[in-house]
């Protein structure tokens, strides 16, 4: 039976979780397209000091798709706790070193995929060394750098006039072809403005999503992010995606229906609140099919080491639940 070709466009931990679940389905041929605007933590330091493309998201997707033993996977996720490498991730260092040796980040990913015995593929959305920028309406202010935009709490309050890449970036040809050849493209989850939309700002990505015959599924975030998406409903998230990819591009929107435990909400209260489905909103013609399901992880995720250079969220998708519901959308 011919494999079902799936392309994912997601960010960080959200992409790792989704791919970890989807790879258990043997009839799926997975390609993860990763953003190249990450500027935080270990990745940001390597970009600044070595002049390399950001390895973080690619490394997470490679590990998620790896068929190797736990030791090799642990090696690529190992984070140093002492010395001058404190906060750095071995996998990031490995990919950046391969890029310096080969002179090509795409080749570096392919070499790392061989080491990790990856089933599927990981492709950078662009090979342009670019940065994410946002112009704010009320403040007449520009913020550049994915990390600074992530940490800035005024996007929602001062209004986004324009988001763009500086310098402009063009889609990696292999990523474009993967989208055109796909049976389905899954967008999300991930930080909306810092992880998902940067993909869509790359020249050629919106057109590829409009031209492909693939089923387009938006996998909505579990939580809003204070200062960025306060008060956003599921429908608001979907509309924002279509602002960048074009109207009527989405076929399905998958969203969570299970409220997180009180313990999780209490620990998360400084960062955001659950994304709600607006039941009062009237469904419009050509609107995507909205599919609600319990896709949230029941357990409290353990914290990463204190010396990690980034803060991580606690409320996450459950890989098995999420994969099951996405698979149903793919095959429906």
pLDDT tens digit sequence for 248-288: 999 999 999 999 888 888 877 777 889 999 999 877 777 89
Picking from 332, 301, 327, the residue whose alpha carbon sits closest to that of residue 14 is 301
Contacts of 185 (CB under 8 A, 6+ apart): 6, 7, 8, 9, 179, 209, 212, 214, 215, 216, 217
Strand partners, 32: 8, 122
Q: Is the pLDDT of residue 305 over 60?
A: no
pLDDT tens digit sequence for 190-241: 999 999 999 999 999 999 999 999 999 999 999 999 899 999 999 999 999 9
User: For the chain, how far is it from start to end, CA to CA, in angstroms?
Assistant: 17
* Sign of the CA dihedral running 64, 69, 74, 75: negative
Contacts of 319 (CB under 8 A, 6+ apart): 17, 18, 20, 21
What is the token pair recorded at 213? 């015959």
* pLDDT for residue 307: 46
Which contiguous run of DSSP H or E holds residue 13?
Answer: helix 12-22
pLDDT tens digit sequence for 168-182: 999 999 999 999 999
What is the token pair recorded at 264? 């999780």
* pLDDT for residue 300: 55
Which residues in 9-40 are b (16+ Cβ under 10 Å) and which e? bbbbbbbbbbbbbbbebeebbbbbbbbbbbbb
Domains within the chain, CATH numbers bracketed: 4-331 (3.40.50.10680)
Q: Is the pLDDT of residue 314 over 80?
A: no
* pLDDT for residue 301: 53
Q: Distance between CA 329 and CA 215 in Å, rounded?
A: 9
């Amino acid at each position: 039976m011919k494999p079902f070709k799936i392309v994912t466009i997601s960010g960080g931990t959200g992409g790792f979780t989704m791919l970890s679940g989807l790879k258990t389905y043997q009839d799926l041929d997975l390609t993860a397209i990763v953003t190249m605007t990450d500027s935080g933590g270990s990745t940001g330091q390597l970009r600044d000091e070595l002049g390399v493309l950001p390895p973080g998201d690619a490394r997470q997707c490679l590990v998620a798709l790896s068929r190797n033993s736990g030791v090799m996977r642990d090696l690529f996720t190992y984070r140093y706790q002492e010395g001058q490498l404190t906060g750095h991730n071995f996998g990031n260092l490995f990919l950046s070193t391969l890029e310096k040796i080969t002179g090509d980040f795409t080749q570096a990913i392919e070499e790392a995929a061989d080491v990790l015995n990856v089933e599927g593929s990981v492709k950078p959305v662009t090979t342009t060394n670019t940065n994410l920028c946002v112009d704010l309406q009320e403040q007449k202010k520009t913020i550049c750098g994915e990390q600074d935009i992530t940490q800035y709490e005024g996007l929602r309050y001062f209004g986004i006039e324009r988001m763009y890449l500086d310098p402009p970036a063009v889609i990696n040809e292999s990523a474009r072809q993967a989208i055109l050849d796909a049976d389905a493209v899954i967008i999300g989850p991930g930080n909306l403005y810092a992880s998902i939309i940067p993909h869509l700002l790359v020249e050629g990505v919106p057109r590829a999503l409009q031209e492909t015959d693939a089923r387009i599924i938006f996998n909505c975030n579990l939580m809003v992010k204070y200062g960025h998406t306060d008060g956003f409903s599921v429908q608001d998230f979907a509309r924002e995606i279509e602002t960048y990819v074009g109207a009527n591009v989405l076929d399905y929107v998958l969203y969570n229906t299970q409220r997180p435990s009180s313990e999780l909400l209490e620990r998360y209260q400084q960062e955001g609140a659950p994304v709600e489905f607006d039941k009062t909103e009237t469904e419009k013609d050509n609107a995507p099919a909205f599919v609600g399901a319990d896709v949230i992880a029941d357990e409290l995720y353990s914290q990463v080491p204190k010396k990690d250079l980034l803060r991580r969220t606690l409320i996450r998708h459950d890989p098995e639940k999420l994969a099951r519901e996405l698979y149903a959308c793919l095959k429906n």
